[in-house]
Every structure is written in structure tokens, then in C-alpha cells.
Amino acid sequence: MSDNHRSTISQILDAVDRSGEHYGTGFPMIASENVISPLVRRACNSDLHGRYAEGLPGKRYYQGCDDFDTIEAIGIQLAQKVFNSSFANIQPTSGTVSNIGALKALVKPGDRISAVSTADGGHISHAQMGAVGLRGLDLHTYPWDIDRMEPDIDAAAAMIRDTEPALALFGASVFLFPTPLEELADVAHEIGARVMYDGAHVLGLIAGGVFQDPLREGADVMTGSSHKTFPGPQGGFLLSNNDDEKFHRRLNNAVFPGTNSSYHLHHVAGKVVALSEFEAFGKQYARDTVRNAKALAAALATEGFDVLAEDRGFTASHQVLTRHGETDSGAGRKAAAMLEEAGIITNMNMLPGDTKAMTPSGLRLGVQELTRHGMGTTEMEEVATCFRRVLIDQEDPSTVKTRVNQIRSDFTEVRYCFQE
């Protein structure tokens, strides 16, 4: 190896190792992330990393897929069981790719679609700048109830009746409470629209039975990431309870050849292991996650923070939202940077009233990863105390970091999974 290459490689590998340490010794609190189990990691690090398997189990375009056929066939069955769906495609390489596939299957360019606006917490793939724009759709966003942090049911129903979208899309990235889906799906079906629910963030809570049950509340299709509250490797799912085989073929074709050729077989294998672990431990993990989110929100409010949605009990998901200053002031950005210095990893987030994504007033916190490491409600109070020391008491973050590292050192294993 030349000196140049040696230096490049060691720079890369040092950064890889450091990033693991950073997450492993602090409080990882990004709401869209999670930690994978040792067995999921083993599947992800396998030879499948370099392989191809276009098509579906038993119907491949390449030789050499027998073992992977076994893995994917088990995975489809497990996904149907874990998500209680008659159809599952486990190939999408991300939540966004699941959404692109679903939009390809459900609507045509030029069709009208209704969705949550990004300002109200909708995801960029639901926007003109993302998958909705890519598909050439005419986007209408729901009227929003800021206090309840959900679509204004009556106004959104009227909007669906007036605009008559071909597809009503629900779900968001800021997701504190279940969507009033039954009411709005009924209206959408009345006017002949399909209903899609993007459960990227809350998929693990849905599968764990603690959030809402979109496939029984009117969603024709549910999409989601496999790595947020669902604790698998990065990837996506496409799910449905429609029993029509033609519809299943349309969904499968939208994934391959529609949006993927290679679909990251090592991650599919990891997803299948995660599904099996979820079957065994998912309900308890989901319950503990929501309990911890509620405990963290209450503890932060007690410490003096402005925690959103107090009237509704702060949260019914894995997320907690806090406001740190005036709208568009960038107070959320500053708070996230100070917390990072103390080893607490969060993200700034737009809150109601904010108009600029780079200078928002809030933070979005997620407790699913701390929960996976075994933290409970007592630790949530300690986490809130660390937030107070950094952001209210303005203590030197490096002093608080010592305490963060100390608390975390008792919670290094991954729980809710099989031991190797």
C-alpha cells in the first residue's frame, strides 16, 4: 500500500471507529435512528453484501439465489405476521424507495394527491421536492390542527371531498399522535381515492400494537423504514391487506423493476433476522419505548423546558418535541449543537410557526435507541437533568458529558434481541 493510500484508509477507518464510539458512549436520540442487534449485524456483514437477486423467491434472473430465496421467503412470511398484512414486499432499500414504489403503483403522472405539508411535519418524499414531484403529481396539503398536531379532521375531510385526489397520503416525520385515519380514509374511499399510510417513523410501534393499526383503519398500502422504531438495518417495507393478486403484482412490479434492481441482499437478510427478533420481543420494546417517551417529556417539562402538546400528554409515540426560543430564531440549532458537545445527539426541527428548516426553534427527540439499550423511566429523568444542565444552567458541556458517559456506561448492550 502506498503512503498516500495508507493515510486515506486510516483516515476513513479512524472516522468509522470514532463515529461508533461517539454513539456508544453518549445518548443517541435522533428519532429516525436505531441500533441493530448482534445477529442483524452478522447478517448485514455477510457475503450477501456483494450479491444480486432480481425478482422474487423462486423466480430469479440470476443463478446462485437458492439460499437467498430461503431467506427472503421466510422474511415475507414473517413480515406478513409481524405487520398482520396479507402482502409484504421486503425489498425496498429505504423508506423513500418504498414511497416511490407505492406512488408508482397507486398513481399516474398528473394525478392529484393529498398529503401532510413539510411545514406541519410531512416528509420530503411527500413533497414536490421529493418523490411526489418525481412522479409529477399535483400536491394538495391538509389543513392542520396545530394544537392537536394532526390534520384538522373536518377541514381535511372537506378538502378531500373538494379536491378529489386519486390518492390520500397520511403519515409524517414529526409524529407525536396517531393520525385520525379511519375518518379520513372513509372520506377518501367515498370519492374513489386510494389511501396510503407512511409509517416510516412509527412502524415498530404499529407492529408492537401501541400506536395505531393503519391496515385495519383504512390504509390500502402502508410503507415504512426498517430502521427507525422498527429496529432493523436501513431499508424499507411495502405492506398491504388488499387480497387482490393483481394488486400484489402491481406492488411487486413497482419495487422490481420499478424502483430497484439490486436491493441490498445483506440488508434484507438483516431485516429478516430483525423481524424474527421483533416477533419475540417487539411488543415489550414498543410498550417500553412509548412509556419512556412520555416519561422523558414529563421530566423535561418539570426541568423547565417548553415541551409541545402538554394538553395531550406530550406524546403517544417515540418522539418528544421541545421549543427553545422564538420561531425561526435558530434556537433549536444552537441547542442541538450544545447538546452534542455534551455527548447528546439530537436534531433541530421546525415546529409550528417556523418557516426555515435551517434555523428552527425546536428539537425533535427520540427515545427508541436508549430504550433498546435498556434505559427506563428513571434514566429518562436523568437524561432530562443532563438537558437542563446544558441548556438551562449553561454548565460547561464537557462537565455534563462526563455524567452522560457515566450513565451510558451501564447501558451498552442491545436488548430485545437474541443473544449470539
Ligand X SMILES: Cc1ncc(COP(=O)(O)O)c(C=O)c1O
Binding region for ligand X (CB under 6 A): 32, 94-96, 99, 123, 125, 171-173, 198, 200-201, 225, 236
Distance from the first to the final alpha carbon of the chain: 36
We find the least distance from the C-beta atom of residue 95 to ligand X, in angstroms, to be 3
Cβ at position 409, least distance to ligand X in Å: 30
CA dist 95 and 169 (Å) reads 14
Distance of closest approach, residue 365 Cβ to ligand X, in angstroms: 14
Q: How far apart (Å, rounded) are the C-alpha atoms in residues 282 and 329? A: 39
Q: How far is the CB of 295 from ligand X (least distance, A)?
A: 23
Q: Choose between 222 and 414: whose C-beta lies nearer to ligand X.
A: 222
Min separation Cβ 308 and ligand X, Å: 17
Least distance in angstroms from the C-beta of 123 to ligand X: 3
Q: How far is CA 145 from CA 158, 179, 327, 388, 402, in A?
A: 14, 11, 18, 30, 41
Cβ distance to ligand X smaller for residue 48 or 172: 172
Nearest-approach distance from CB 62 to ligand X, in angstroms: 26
Report which residue's Cβ sits closest to ligand X: 95
DSSP 142: P
Q: Contact at 8 Å (CB) between 370 and 30?
A: no
- CB of residue 400 to ligand X, shortest distance in Å: 28
Torsion sign across C-alpha atoms 305, 307, 312, 318: negative
Query: Taking a C-beta distance cutoff of 8 angstroms, is the pair 191, 164 a contact?
Result: yes
Angle (CA) 205-377-229 rounded to 5° is: 20
Q: Which is nearer to ligand X, 236 or 397 (CB)?
A: 236
Give the span between the Cα atoms of 78 and 365, in whole angstroms.
30
For ligand X, the closer of residues 319 and 385 by Cβ is 319
**In terms of DSSP H, where are the helices of 121-264?**
131-134, 153-163, 181-190, 203-207, 245-255
CB of 225 or CB of 368, closer to ligand X: 225
Question: Closest approach of Cβ 190 to ligand X, in Å?
Answer: 25
Which residues make Cβ contacts (< 8 Å) with residue 297, sequence separation at least 6? 307, 314, 315, 320
Give the residue with the Cβ less far from ligand X, 173 or 240: 173
Q: Which is nearer to ligand X, 200 or 295 (CB)?
A: 200
Instruction: Check if the beta carbon of residue 387 is closer than 8 Å to that of residue 357.
Output: no
Measured between alpha carbons, how far is 22 from 344 in angstroms, rounded to an integer?
9
Pick 269 or 298: Cβ nearer ligand X: 269
Q: Which is nearer to ligand X, 225 or 242 (CB)?
A: 225
In the complex with ligand X, which residue's Cβ is closer, 172 or 365? 172
* 364: CB partners within 8 A, 6+ apart: 31, 174, 319, 320, 321, 346, 347, 348, 349
Residues 6+ apart with CB under 8 A from 21: none
Q: How far is the CB of 8 from ligand X (least distance, A)?
A: 28
Strand order in the sheet with 221-225: 87-89, 236-240, 221-225, 194-198, 167-170, 112-115, 138-141
Backbone angles phi, psi at 341, to 5 degrees: -60, -25
| CA separation for the pair 221, 151 (Å, rounded) | 19
